[in-house]
Amino acid sequence: MNKLSRDLQIQVANALCQGMSLRSITRLLNVHRTTIIKILERAGEHCESLQDQYMRKLDLRDIQADEIWTFVRKKQGRLTPEEKKDTTIGDQYVFIALERNTKLIPTWVIGKRNENTTMTFMSQLKQCMNGCQTQISTDAFAPYEKAVPAFFGTQASYAAITKEYESEQAGRGRYAPPRVAAVHKFPLEGKPDLAKATTSHIERQNLTLRTFQRRLTRLALGFSKKLANLKAACALHFAYYNFCWIPRTQKITPAMAAGLTDHVWTVAELVPEW
């Protein structure tokens, strides 16, 4: 690890940000898999500290929240009764908040899809904000109905969105999600603008996450063997997304749009010196 050059460390981190698997990076850059994991761990830790440093007192006016599924070591249905007692393996969900206007992701949480994780998620989101009035849009996951008013009170107007899907099957030999037949919006707190209440942007961001994180890609062999590795990979991805990535719909990074920085960062700024 100490003999690996700084340039090669940055190349490894960049490959991780671009959605390459550990074994692919090993073949391409001739770096041992254990070394790649160490780079991921250190970069992830550094990116978490960047999040704590920059994601404070933000003006977040239109927030969308969603959860994206993945798993660690085994899918939930394959766990033994003894393994089910371990909350660090099996199905995991990445809770993500996105600000619609800037495309910034101010916070994210990984855990089981339950009330405790939802409460932690909303608590972290509240800590990112500067006390401004905001609108929050989520899916119909029930714990949000308790968590949003618990942490935001009258500071947030809140709406839940549900979607109905066509029952028609995709057909033999075709893999595709069913088409959306109807969208229903329910005001739950305050006076949300239902014309703006949507989860479409955060759901589109989920596609970006699955594209640039091999361990979250569906119908593939990439997955996390340790929860710590999944958290490090997500920390690296969200820092890359916020500070380095320029969304197609805007000409600057989300961090620049939110006034957090004045330039497009390079991957080198996400990888600590060691």
CA torsion sign for 211, 217, 220, 221 is: positive
**pLDDT of 1:** 46
Of 201, 254, 208, the C-alpha closest to 17 is 208
Domain 6-270: give its CATH superfamily.
Answer: Ribonuclease H-like superfamily/Ribonuclease H (3.30.420.10)
**pLDDT of 249:** 87
pLDDT at 36 over 70: yes
- Using one digit for the tens of pLDDT, what is the confidence trace for 75-115? 999 999 999 999 999 999 999 999 999 999 999 999 999 99
pLDDT at 171 over 70: no
Percent residues over pLDDT 70 in the chain: 96
**Could you state, in order of their start, the residue ranges of all structural domains in the chain?**
6-270
Of 137, 103, 136, 131, the C-alpha closest to 258 is 103
| DSSP secondary structure code for residue 154 in this structure | G
Q: What is the pTM of this model?
A: 0.93
